[in-house]
Structure 1
């Protein structure tokens, strides 16, 4: 049975559907090629170095405090051949950006810089074989939260080239800054934890991450996510096209993307959300069944009725309380082939476990620790964006740069932008 990887479960209000997207929830203005897949790396590393050695950044000095804007923080430097330097132009805000300081988690030391979703222009490349080059507009899901150089709340950030997705000229920089970590969480949840093969998608085939992971040196995978990475290896346990899957929290950015990727892979999807506010958009993205979250007991009954009590796969994006509700919709009896029901929780799992159900979290570290996995994911994302197959989240743009992040996080915390992403524009 899969075990719980390192995640953080926080108290969530009863109607947290749009306030608490996926675990470790996370920016550009040069002309770029319309088709990112046609890119051929330059043979010599080139660089457009910053004109000075310091930058503006937001520092967190203590739990429960707001971020402090400083103008003399050192610009991060590249230390490895596979790293690049990005000048940030837009930052996508995530609940973890305010929940980390509020609940004192995910802060390795003080002062610290947070921020998970960034987009900008590559200004330095250190390796001639890098998949990106200077001048490329890229979005970067910053999942390596222990490396302060990679945080989004600053003017420049370091990234690895296999974690940067080039933005096609047809896509908005601000909208692109909104989906990085949510995309990573969605792909890893479906493709690694539940074993869904994206290569079978007809419109825009993606990676078969189960096979990719099986080819990786086991010792290179962080120990605390290693078991989860291999949980879907048994063929009879893997999520396959034609199966039903329920998503509780479908109007969050992660749910929004998970729905789209699930439909691309041929799944039948039940979406639990505030249907009055978000039903039209979810229906437009292909949701097979819409279930209102306002009456949780009825939601459980509807899901069981639609699936005849035989539901085998479910993803919760809200918290342990809704994960417990979703658990009740699953059929815990083993199938003839010995396979089980599977419940994945991005922000929490039930305290007590139901017999016959396998529980999963998202091995988020795999994205930045494995070049093979990261490159496969961002390469697919580039294709999804260039082809227009992936519909981007609706964005609320906030001007004011880094100095407006604290106020923007308060708006996010208040929940008035339900079903949308706040993106702070750094200008330039």
Structure 2
């Protein structure tokens, strides 16, 4: 096994990231972990936000990267679910360098190292971690819908509707599919060029998020009875909030802070809840969820987001710049450590 571990290292808060093979060794695994040789690492907005704004991580030097897929090269003594050579995908734990994916090797809890079926590429696997668990937490914890891997979920969700704002985002792409699989009626916003694709993924209704009368359109579709909405973007919080019922208890799930919602105090029946899309912070949900995702991939019932390979570790910073500049939409950038 290799004794070197090339990584994209950030030496200090808000400092530059540079490739090094000498700062962090190959991680040592615990009894309940597996060591993964990372083939593909997905770029997520949270990674560049950590560097730019100095949030979430306080210990440096560090390695970022939250999505990964690769091959198991070592298993802990207590692990019976995996063996050397297994293909897996996983989400890292922010701030825990040994799990990070902008490096060649990562240590992962075996219960969170989801098996990657042969019909799914490593690149596709590296799109699923952050977006998958964030979708699941939003729909099945924050909004409280019955999860589709639980018996009777579709019956429990029958007749219920959900607005998903941002169908072309990584989270939105998966949330539409998971909501549909759970038996929900899905209304999704996106640019018109994505509407046909979102319909194939399970959306019942698609709306142009730039339409000046979008709130009225959503109210017409839902007959003013919408009680559950999920904003995957940030800027969609205000119109999502405005589309909710004026009388029934209603909830808006958000990933980003919704302090720009200006009229929240005017509606005592509506509440906004921020969520954390972390497998490590939501173990009770995450463990059965990742087993379910493997089954969906095997059966072809879950379609991963489109990918674009940008190069090795040294290409990540330029890819993050494209994300910051708004040049990336409906595709996941993938690096090859």
With the length of structure 1 as denominator, give the TM-score of the two structures: 0.73
Q: 1:146 to 1:180 in 2, by over 3 A?
A: same
Distance 1:369 1:314 in 2: 22
Which of the numbers 265, 285, 302 marks the counterpart of 1:390?
302
Which of the numbers 223, 228, 245 marks the counterpart of 1:308?
223
3-state SS, counterpart of residue 219 of structure 2 = helix
- Tell me if the contact between 1:93 and 1:423 (Cα under 8 Å) persists in the aligned partners: yes
Equivalent runs, 1:176-215 vs 2, <5 Å: 176-199=125-148, 206-207=149-150
1:107 aligns with 2:21: no
1:281 aligns with 2:197: yes
Q: 1:269 to 1:398 in 2, by over 3 A?
A: same
Distance 2:320 2:205 in 1: 32
- Tell me if the contact between 2:165 and 2:190 (Cα under 8 Å) persists in the aligned partners: yes
Q: Deviations over 1:268-309 (max 9, x none)?
A: 11111112x3122112212211111123x4111110111111
Partner of 2:270: 357
Higher relative contact order (CA 8 A, sep 6+): 1
Partner of 2:255: 346
Q: 1:369 to 1:130 in 2, by over 3 A?
A: farther
Q: Deviations over 1:143-171 (max 9, x none)?
A: x2121111111111111011111111111
Which of the numbers 91, 94, 100 marks the counterpart of 2:41?
91
How many residues were matched structurally?
Answer: 331
3-state SS, counterpart of residue 100 of structure 1 = helix
Q: 1:274 to 1:146 in 2, by over 3 A?
A: same
Partner of 2:206: 290
With the length of structure 2 as denominator, give the TM-score of the two structures: 0.92
Partner of 1:417: 328
Distance 1:260 1:371 in 2: 22
Cα deviation for residue 186 of structure 1 reads 0.7
Cα deviation for residue 369 of structure 1 reads 4.6
RMSD: 2.1
Which of the numbers 168, 174, 179 marks the counterpart of 2:123?
174
- Tell me if the contact between 2:79 and 2:110 (Cα under 8 Å) persists in the aligned partners: no
Q: Deviations over 1:212-251 (max 9, x none)?
A: xxxxxxxxxxxxxxxxxxxxxxxxxxx8232121111111
Distance 1:87 1:332 in 2: 52
Cα deviation for residue 129 of structure 1 reads 4.1
Is the strand fraction higher in 1 or 2? 2
Distance 2:225 2:183 in 1: 18
Q: Deviations over 1:178-232 (max 9, x none)?
A: 1211000111111112222234xxxxxx147x9xxxxxxxxxxxxxxxxxxxxxx
Distance 1:61 1:154 in 2: 15
- Structure 2: 5+ residue runs without aligned partners? none
